[in-house]
Structure 1
């Protein structure tokens, strides 16, 4: 009996020693493998960081080149032209002040900035737009025959902020504009407009598509402003050309994109140059889709490539889409 007990103990001891020695061997092998993978990952990380830094330097150089040629690209293209600036929800990401500055460099002037609120793009308040538009319309002006809130909003705003596209004359008196803007502010559809005077062209700034606009109010508003004036440009930030973004909606609607010009990267210097040159194109009844997003025809309007005689082409701004 004692012999069997000793034998069994010896077996278990041998098993324990085997497991211990085996686990140590496996651990050493595993640690060696993990250590090798760690070194390989660290090497890949260093390589990726180096590539990132190189791309940052390349981007900084391209941005500096664009910044340096931007004034030359737009100077004089809007000489004496008045422009109305509208900022839709999310449009602050397009840097309205920088857009205004580029317009001024081009020789134009911004007659006022009107901020559209989220209430204007809310489907639950569309009935309010339909009810308000006829009441605030200046005498002699006509609304389009539609129930679409974006088209109605554009038809209501056009005679308030834009000169007649045919004769260049105001379509509302100062008293009518003041009363209409007060009504729009009191209803919560707009902010701003103090001292707003009619302009020849309009720029509607929008964001990257994160703000909900399921009825497409902003692109259809811009299209109606275009039809009631000398022209309009709808400018969004990177991402706005996606399907749910204002630029994406505009470019997928032939009735919109055939009239209003679109720019999908207005937060960049190149995008602001494209916005100004698109305004110049609108004065000549030329609409286009510009930027780097889906549906863009070119990065910038064609005249830039002619004006810079190859400088922009070398920077990549004139490459075909």
Structure 2
């Protein structure tokens, strides 16, 4: 058996260790640790202030450049898209302020015409399956070759109808589409409330801009979680198939998205940027900002000259602006204007030469 004295020695050892710890903690160690912690807190506070200052400075520079290029917008794009036929696709009415500005800038660029095609929720909503099935049956009876091949039967009706839209816009679409057939097919989509068109249905176009709303605008807060998930999946499948087919057509095309909070981690840009299958497309963020529509048109100009890129201010953007002759030196001019208190000369001479961005 263990002797009582053994317990007594153990208890005394514990209390001695505790006493030593209290004495040291209340004396030299407390002062040393306190100083260290206070120093670390002060360092973190300084770093936080520095980061806040850097963020505010960067934000001010972005705002300055945005204002600068917005004011110069009509001059920058003048005559750069002479005679082009452009389709402007939009997936929600919340993008209308941005799309209206895009249309105005396209007019400044000299386009022959712009047709706006509104993609309606029935194109992807889980509750509209019957509507899509009826539309698809009618399309197959008119011109089945306009639909993408699906030998394994893996594509949903939404995916097939979404992928059909870029084919209707492309002048060299498969299936020998005549203008009459194209008009019929557009009418099928219109009659089933899958799209609406401002003006006459297009026969074919030279370029496309896809204007995408912020994810929260495309959601329905009243839906339960399961239905909301199905809606989000349907929307993503529709966008992916439409944009994938658009990339395959070879039409100059730009995906322009609203990015509230400068966040592109959700929504269509997350799908397109970084995926090699969409490399043929250009992307721009900031559609909701004053300079966002101009970014879209500048990217389309670059596309028409054979270039592409990801532009804007979100973390996955490659550059602030397309590297065009028309945009050369803009950031430096904006910085100079800011340094001069806004009194610097804002005029610029647009280049009369084209070139890859």
Fold match, TM over 0.5? Answer: yes
Shift of 1:147: 0.8
* Counterpart for residue 112 of structure 1: 115
Alpha-carbon spacing, 1:275–1:150, altered in 2? closer, same or farther (3 Å): farther
* Counterpart for residue 279 of structure 1: 300
Q: Is the 8 A contact 2:254 2:284 kept in 1?
A: yes
Tell me the distance in 2 between the aligned counterparts of 1:81 and 1:129.
Answer: 32
3-state SS, counterpart of residue 143 of structure 1: coil
Which of 172, 176, 184 in structure 1 is aligned with 2:177?
172
Asked if 1:246 corresponds to 2:268, the answer is yes
Q: Is the 8 A contact 1:83 1:110 kept in 2?
A: yes
* Counterpart for residue 234 of structure 1: 255
Q: Is the 8 A contact 2:321 2:327 kept in 1?
A: no
Q: How far does the alpha carbon of each residue in 1:123-162 deviate from its partner, in whole angstroms, 9 at most, with x for none?
A: 4546764774474264754514351566533431123223
Alpha-carbon spacing, 1:243–1:144, altered in 2? closer, same or farther (3 Å): farther
Tell me the distance in 2 between the aligned counterparts of 1:260 and 1:149.
Answer: 24
The aligned runs of 1:10-89 (5 Å cut-off) are 62-89=65-92
* Counterpart for residue 330 of structure 2: 311
RMSD of aligned Cα (Å): 3.3
* Counterpart for residue 193 of structure 2: 188
Tell me the distance in 1 between the aligned counterparts of 2:172 and 2:149.
Answer: 16
Q: How far does the alpha carbon of each residue in 1:200-225 deviate from its partner, in whole angstroms, 9 at most, with x for none?
A: 11111111111143241224412312
Q: Is the 8 A contact 1:226 1:259 kept in 2?
A: yes
Alpha-carbon spacing, 1:278–1:170, altered in 2? closer, same or farther (3 Å): farther
Q: Which moved more, 1:279-288 or 1:76-85?
A: 279-288
The aligned runs of 1:247-266 (5 Å cut-off) are 247-256=269-278, 258-266=279-287
Tell me the distance in 2 between the aligned counterparts of 1:266 and 1:113.
Answer: 16
Q: Is the 8 A contact 2:82 2:109 kept in 1?
A: yes
Which of 204, 207, 217 in structure 1 is aligned with 2:210?
204
Q: Is the 8 A contact 2:213 2:257 kept in 1?
A: yes
* Counterpart for residue 20 of structure 1: none
Q: Is the 8 A contact 1:154 1:225 kept in 2?
A: no
* Counterpart for residue 166 of structure 2: 158
* Counterpart for residue 147 of structure 1: 155
* Counterpart for residue 30 of structure 2: none
Tell me the distance in 2 between the aligned counterparts of 1:127 and 1:284.
Answer: 42
Alpha-carbon spacing, 1:134–1:80, altered in 2? closer, same or farther (3 Å): farther
Shift of 1:182: 2.2
Q: Is the 8 A contact 1:93 1:207 kept in 2?
A: no
Which of 318, 321, 325 in structure 2 is aligned with 1:300?
321
* Counterpart for residue 30 of structure 1: none
Alpha-carbon spacing, 1:153–1:231, altered in 2? closer, same or farther (3 Å): farther
Tell me the TM-score normalised to structure 1 length: 0.68
Q: Which moved more, 1:98-107 or 1:283-292?
A: 283-292
Tell me the distance in 2 between the aligned counterparts of 1:228 and 1:151.
Answer: 16
Aligned length: 257
3-state SS, counterpart of residue 259 of structure 2: coil
Q: Is the 8 A contact 1:113 1:196 kept in 2?
A: no
Alpha-carbon spacing, 1:91–1:115, altered in 2? closer, same or farther (3 Å): same
